[in-house]
Homo-oligomer: A and B are copies of this chain.
Amino acid sequence: MLAIGLHEERAFDMLRGLIASAGSRLTGSPGAEAALDHMRQVMLDLGFSNVHREPVTVNRWERGTETAQVEASPQRSAVELAVCALGGSVGTSEAGIKAPVIEVRSFEELKSQKQAARGKIVFFNQPMDRTILEPFRAYGANADHRVRGAAEAAKYGAVAVIIRSLTFRRDRFPHTGLMRYEDGVPRIPAAAVATEDADRLSGLLGENSELLIHLTLGCRDFGPVESANLIGDLRGSERPEEIILIGGHVDAWDLGPGAHDDGAGCVQSVEALRLIRAVGLVPKRTIRAVLFMDEEFGGTGGRFYARAPERKGEKHLVAFESDRGGFLPLAVGLGGSPGLIQKHQAWSPLIKSLGLVQGLVSGGGGVDIAPLAEQGVILGGLIPDAGRYFDFHHSALDDLAAVHPRELELGAIALAVTASIIAQEGI
């Protein structure tokens, strides 16, 4: 599988095709449907069995025009900030909101200035801490501002929030992501601002703390729509009801084509099955690719999958998710007990021989497969280097050019090999 994969690098071609099939793959959008149609045809063309959609009810939200001007003084022309609505935000009126700004670094700081927040736009400007080696941890430390910032600020009478984008890089690309309102708390508009623009705004506030921002967000909620997860199998020859799942999520944020997040995981899942067929392996157990819908708005697809009627009579042994980008894969992660990893340490040299220098490690999992864990399924996943992930994450930068064909393929190969072993030997 290594030689075929590296020679053909088909995962990258598939990713190009997926991206070309849909303008944006935001949950509930026509693009997401187009992507499902496209990938269904890809699976059929590759000869997968049991190719079908399983219904998922999702919520449709759409972004519209989004602008933010800083009016620093009557003498100066307005400064445009690069902003985007956070996912799930309410819009402003068409005229927008014009209000003064209060800049804070934390919920504590917000609380200590709660009187000052009334009638203002709260600007959460805490940079991701780049001295934290593990980028997901640095992200985790700040993501709360994005998710809960609007609710917290609204409690003190704020009229909108603007969040510094979650990336280590300084650039002019805003990064979106999910936000949530709280019941009983006013729903105020929430936007992200690019890091360079955040620094600029902070500088302008230093000169004039009374400046006004004119914020316009045209985003709207359209309520529930029918969508789907997409499934394709290599049917097991001896125990077809026992399933090894490999999945990613087909929906993506709408600012870019979601090449890493999670186009990569989708095409790696499909490519893994293709590689297994390409070497002529007929698995004893079923190896399944699942493209989940609606990971980004909270993992609806994963919950629907776990409880779908089609699961009756199926027994999932392991579910692998690839949703950390198509970067250089360093390890295959496996959850479950430490004893399980111990028992299967023999796989580690094999995985290392595929170029994943850490081999088999404890870890993996993901939003889409998490509901399966409640049914006792062992979770695993691909663990790539995370150093570049947030450079692109949820922004227009997450495009095909950000993906390296060979790195993407190595991930697919590792998933193919690991799933094949489990299909033959069990776990």
Is the beta-carbon distance between A357 and B330 smaller than 8 angstroms? yes
Q: Are A328 and B7 in contact (CB under 8 A)?
A: no
A132 to B, closest residue via Cβ: B6
Give min CB distance, A417 to chain B, whole Å. 13
Number of interface residues of A (CB under 8 A): 23
Interface residues of A in 15-48 (CB under 8 A from B): none
Are A133 and B404 neighbours in the complex by a CB distance under 8 Å? no
By the criterion CB–CB under 8 Å, are B131 and A7 in contact? yes
Chain B residue numbers with a CB within 8 Å of A131 are 2-3, 6-7
A355 & B133 in contact (Cβ 8 Å cutoff) = yes
Q: What's the least CB distance linking A260 to chain B, in Å?
A: 14
The reply on A407 being an interface residue by CB < 8 A is: yes
> A387: which of B7, B130, B358, B406 is its contact (CB, 8 Å)?
B406
Question: Is A297 close to B, CB under 8 A?
Answer: no
| Nearest CB in chain B to that of A331: its residue | B357
A130 surroundings in chain B (CB, below 8 A): 6-7, 9, 406
Q: Residue A388 at the B interface, CB < 8 A?
A: yes
Distance, CA A168 to CA B7, complexed state (A): 10
CA–CA, A390 and B3, complex, Å: 19
Does A54 have its Cβ within 8 Å of any Cβ on chain B? no
Q: Which residues of chain B come closer than 8 Å to A353, judged between CB atoms?
A: 133
In the complex, chain B residues whose CB is within 8 Å of the CB of A241:
none
* A6 CA / B137 CA spacing, docked (Å): 15
Residues of B close to A133: CB separation below 8 A: 2, 6, 353-355
CA distance A404 to B135 in the complex (A): 14
The 9 closest A-B pairs by CB, nearest first: A3-B131, A6-B131, A7-B131, A133-B355, A6-B130, A357-B358, A387-B406, A328-B385, A330-B357
Question: What are 25 pairs between A and B in contact, CB < 8 Å?
Answer: A2-B131, A2-B133, A6-B130, A6-B131, A6-B133, A7-B131, A9-B130, A130-B406, A133-B353, A133-B354, A133-B355, A328-B328, A328-B385, A328-B387, A330-B357, A355-B387, A357-B357, A357-B358, A358-B358, A385-B385, A387-B404, A387-B406, A387-B407, A387-B410, A388-B404
Chain A interfacial positions (CB closer than 8 Å to B):
2-3, 6-7, 9, 130-131, 133, 168, 328, 330, 353-355, 357-358, 385, 387-388, 404, 406-407, 410
